[in-house]
Amino acid sequence: FNPTVSLFIPQIATSVYLQLNKTMLGAMVGSEYSGFYFNADQIVKMVLTLATSLGTVMLPHMASAFAKGDHKRVNQMLYTSFDFISLLSVAMTFGLAAVSLQLGPYFYGKGFGPVGLAMLIESVVILLIAWSNTVGTQYLLPTNKVKAFTTSVVLGALFNIVANLPFIYFWGLNGAMYATVLSELVVTGYQLWYIRDIADFRQMFVNVPKYLLAGIVMFIPVFAMSNLIKTSILSIGSEVVLGVIIYMVMIVLLKPTSLTQVTAMVKQKFNR
């Protein structure tokens, strides 16, 4: 019963602060801004699902290795998973940010202009939640460190509740997004701090600077294209294709260690 409750608490905390964001926006700024927040959050979380789906796959493998006492393999899987998730989530973060200003109003309609900037701000949480999902769901939970996982989520929820008042008061909808981003930063920051003596951060983050550089280089032309041409399904599709090509080219040029692993996996699959 106790382990079940400890896993249930983070779900409650997350649900409370998500609902509180919309409620406080509605009360302090206006009900329409509560809708803007919900709409922006829906698209961001839809993209985020692709980045966090790996956690469901990796969790049983982590738990199995931990149960066998193979801590070296557990850490190695964490490094590999974290690196691969970073590769994907950085691309998704900068990609969504690049098209968000035009995508929001186009997707929902002309009256939903504020959704675009809100999405641009919130797109950062794709990377932060992808990291916290890797450390929390793929490492802390399978290795029986549920208390640390619960603490990180509760701290994030408490920070969000406290930050909402001044942030929404001064910046309205965008303030709620800033508070959301910072609360996810608290969650991720605490989890990384907790495993500081367990994991090798140099190995975990070895390729992250290269991914960020590739993401920035991708963002600039896609953002310019998104804001210069008329938005349509064709233009959005073209921007996505352009972003993918630029990001992939940059990864090939920067040669992160993950590129070697992916190449080896592809060769092994074709050899079969």
**pLDDT, tens digit, 9 for 90 and up, residues 117-135:** 999 999 999 999 999 989 9
pLDDT at residue 92 is higher than 80: yes
Q: Give the pLDDT of residue 203.
A: 92
Kind and range of the H or E element at 248? Answer: helix 233-254
Q: Give the pLDDT of residue 264.
A: 63
Q: Give the pLDDT of residue 267.
A: 61
Query: Do the Cβ atoms of 104 and 115 come closer than 8 Å?
Result: yes
Q: What are phi and psi of 165, to 5 degrees?
A: -55, -60
pLDDT at residue 269 is higher than 60: no
Q: Give the pLDDT of residue 201.
A: 93
Q: What are phi and psi of 7, to 5 degrees?
A: -80, -25
The total number of structural domains that make up the chain: 1
Higher pLDDT, 4 or 81: 81
pLDDT at residue 52 is higher than 90: no
Higher pLDDT, 30 or 3: 30
Q: How far apart are CA 28 and CA 169, in angstroms?
A: 7
Higher pLDDT, 170 or 55: 170
Q: Give the pLDDT of residue 122.
A: 95
Q: Give the pLDDT of residue 110.
A: 82
Extract the tokens encoding 130.
């992808």
Q: Which domain holds residue 165?
A: 2-271
Q: How far apart are CA 241 and CA 72, in angstroms?
A: 39
| One-letter identity of residue 6 | S
3-state secondary structure labels for all residues of 196-225: CCCCCHHHHCCCHHHHHHHHHHHHHHHHHH
Q: Give the pLDDT of residue 177.
A: 95
Report the candidate in 265, 256, 230 with the shortest Cα–Cα distance to residue 88: 256
Cα angle: 104, vertex 105, 109; to 5 degrees: 125
The top-scoring range by mean pLDDT among 21-25, 47-51, 150-154, 189-193 is: 189-193
Q: Give the pLDDT of residue 271.
A: 64
